[in-house]
Amino acid sequence: MATTPRAAALIDSDVLIDAARGQLEARGFLNDQNQAFRVQISTTSAMELIVGCRNKLEVSQTKRFLEPLRILPVDPNISDTAYSLIQTFTRSHGLMIPDALIAATALENGLTLMTRNTSLSGDS
């Protein structure tokens, strides 16, 4: 009997961008995650990928790339959490709105955020 993958991770935009551009390591990671868990992304990440497209062909390719992934919408709880994160971490860590929305999506859904972005830059 086949089992349904469980929700465990939220994949960040940086990993998705690398995978969409064909980077083998990122594609392999995404494929491994997809086999082990139900891969989910924030609607903010999906929008970031679409915004990065240069033409209609790239938009079409990106939409196909996103099809197998579950895209989690921003709801009022996510918005409130992102607002709190912005208040707390914008000055100290340089947190920007898209990253706050993605982090809040992971927090509100009890998911681990899979990202390559580990920098904590910004002035205090």
Domain holding 35: CATH number? 3.40.50.1010
101 found inside a domain: yes
121 found inside a domain: no
124 found inside a domain: no
50 found inside a domain: yes
122 found inside a domain: no
Q: Which domain holds residue 71?
A: 7-114
123 found inside a domain: no
Report how many domains make up the chain.
1
Average pLDDT, the chain: 88
By percentage, how much of the chain surpasses pLDDT 70? Answer: 89
pTM listed for this prediction:
0.84
- Cα–Cα distance for residue pair 59/50, rounded to 1 Å: 6
Judged on CB neighbours under 10 Å (0-12, 13-18, 19+), 43 is middle
Bridge partners of residue 42, in order along the sequence: 72
| Mean pLDDT to the nearest integer, 20-35 | 89
Q: Scanning the structure block, which residue is given the tokens 């915004």?
A: 51
44 found inside a domain: yes
Q: Tell which wins on pLDDT, 59 or 2.
A: 59
**Given phi > 0 = left and psi -120 to 50 = alpha, else beta, which region is 94?**
left
- Residue 43: per-residue pLDDT: 98
- Cα–Cα distance for residue pair 68/40, rounded to 1 Å: 9
Q: Give the lowest-confidence range in 14-18, 31-35, 95-99, 101-105.
A: 31-35
